[in-house]
């Protein structure tokens, strides 16, 4: 290839790359500028125009005054519900996945591979098939419409993927490590604690981020299993944006959407590498 052709090739390549970057960034840009305008600027200006003055009023309104249905307490209570739900749900599902993965890779027993395969279906199945029975079960135990019920649901739904993550990672750890520890007289828990866990930081981070992102962003369980005072942020945002009672305030909607997106976006920007590993691990089984 001549240098001249190479240059042309690079120009086209970069044009395409930048156009795609604009296509992906435009909605975020529109959300940010809309959230900083007042309604007059929104009606007077265009989708892409910059706000004439920076105004955080709609952020404040989205946080604790905007109406979601009949309540007008903003997104704050929903945000707090999500925090109260996501912390235990992530911690429990990750712990169980870690122990399961450890057994399925380093302490295999007859039938453990079949059990793993059967568990894998849980990663993919449409959760619609469990919604109706689950609402009966949660009702039976008196935790329907509560944060505890949502935590139980997220833990059960999360175990297949967390088990998959840890199992696939631990398969790659040399068995000799476990054998050597065993010769030194270490048992099941001691090996996990002293040998395997210290080597688990990357997969631990991947799983924590994956579970956090999924549970924070979940809407289906949130809308089915929550009651008046246990709705997560996604349900709050949807109620806020779909309230048709008064004049549509797009700036408040956009501020609310950004508030709901910020925690996971923050984690993504800080630890994107681990997030991508979680995404690709979900697709590459074995």
Partner 1 sequence: MSRYKVPSASWLPKLVVAPSFLLSFFFIYGLIAWNGYLSLSASHMLPNYDYVGFSNYIDLFDNDRFHVALKNMLIFGVLFIGGAMALGLLLAILLDQKIRAEGVLRTVYLYPMAISFIVTGTAWKWILNPGLGIEHLVQSWGFPNFQFDWLVDDQHAIYCVVIAGIWQASGFVMALFLAGLRGIDESIIKAAQIDGASLPRIYWRIVVPSLRPVFFSTLMVVSHLSIKSFDLVVALTSGGPGYSTDLPATFMYAMSFSRGQVAMGAASATIMLCMVAAIVVPYLYSELRTKK
Residues 122-141 close enough to bind partner 1 by CB under 8 A: 122, 124-134, 136
Cα–Cα distance measured from residue 75 to residue 172, given in angstroms and rounded to the nearest whole number: 44
CB atoms within 10 A of CB 64: 13
272 makes contact with partner 1 (CB under 8 A): yes
For 188-206, give the DSSP string.
HHHHIIIIIGGG-HHHHHH
H-helix segments, 107-225: 112-124, 128-140, 147-171, 175-183, 188-191, 201-217, 220-225
Residue 56 CB, nearest approach to partner 1 (Å):
18
Give the footprint of partner 1 on residues 42-61 (CB under 8 A). 42-43, 46-48
Of residues 205 and 261, the one with the C-beta less far from partner 1? 261
100 makes contact with partner 1 (CB under 8 A): yes
Rule CB under 8 A: choose which of 28, 80, 87, 180 binds partner 1: 28
Q: Strand, coil or helix: what is 285?
A: coil
Burial class (CB in 10 A: 0-12, 13-18, 19+), 84: middle
Are 55 and 38 a contacting pair, CB within 8 Å? yes
Residue 117 CB, nearest approach to partner 1 (Å):
5
Residue 198 CB, nearest approach to partner 1 (Å):
20
Q: x/- contact string, 172-191, with partner 1 (CB under 8 A)?
A: ---x--xx--x----xx---
Residue 109 CB, nearest approach to partner 1 (Å):
6
Helix axes 147-171, 128-140, angle to 10 degrees: 130
Rule CB under 8 A: choose which of 60, 84, 91, 120 binds partner 1: 120
Of residues 178 and 204, the one with the C-beta less far from partner 1? 178
Give the footprint of partner 1 on residues 192-221 (CB under 8 A). 213, 216-220
Q: Which of 252, 223, 221 is nearest to 235 (CA)?
A: 223
């Amino acid at each position: 290839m001549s240098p001249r052709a190479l240059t042309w090739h690079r120009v086209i390549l970069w044009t395409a790359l930048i156009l795609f970057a604009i296509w992906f960034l435009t909605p975020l840009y529109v959300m940010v500028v809309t959230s900083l305008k007042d309604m007059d600027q929104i009606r007077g200006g265009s989708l892409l125009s910059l706000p004439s003055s920076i105004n955080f009023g709609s952020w404040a309104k989205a946080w604790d005054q905007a109406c979601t249905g009949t309540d007008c307490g903003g997104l704050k209570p929903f945000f707090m519900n999500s925090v109260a739900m996501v912390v235990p749900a992530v911690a429990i599902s990750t712990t169980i996945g870690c122990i399961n993965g450890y057994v399925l890779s380093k302490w295999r027993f007859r039938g453990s591979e079949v059990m793993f395969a059967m568990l894998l279906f849980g990663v993919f199945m449409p959760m619609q098939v469990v919604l109706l029975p689950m609402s009966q079960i949660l009702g039976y135990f008196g935790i329907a419409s509560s944060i505890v019920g949502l935590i139980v649901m997220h833990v059960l739904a999360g175990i297949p993927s967390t088990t998959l993550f840890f199992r696939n990672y631990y398969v790659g750890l040399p068995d000799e490590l476990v054998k050597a520890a065993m010769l030194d007289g270490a048992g099941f828990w001691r090996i996990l604690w002293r040998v395997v866990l210290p080597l688990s930081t990357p997969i631990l981070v991947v799983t924590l981020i994956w579970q956090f992102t999924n549970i924070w962003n979940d809407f289906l369980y949130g809308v089915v299993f929550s009651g008046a005072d246990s709705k997560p942020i996604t349900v709050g945002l949807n109620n806020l944006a779909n309230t048709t009672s008064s004049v549509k305030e797009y700036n408040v909607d956009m501020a609310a959407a950004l508030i709901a997106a910020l925690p996971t976006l923050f984690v993504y920007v800080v630890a994107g590498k681990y997030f991508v590993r979680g995404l690709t691990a979900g697709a590459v089984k074995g």
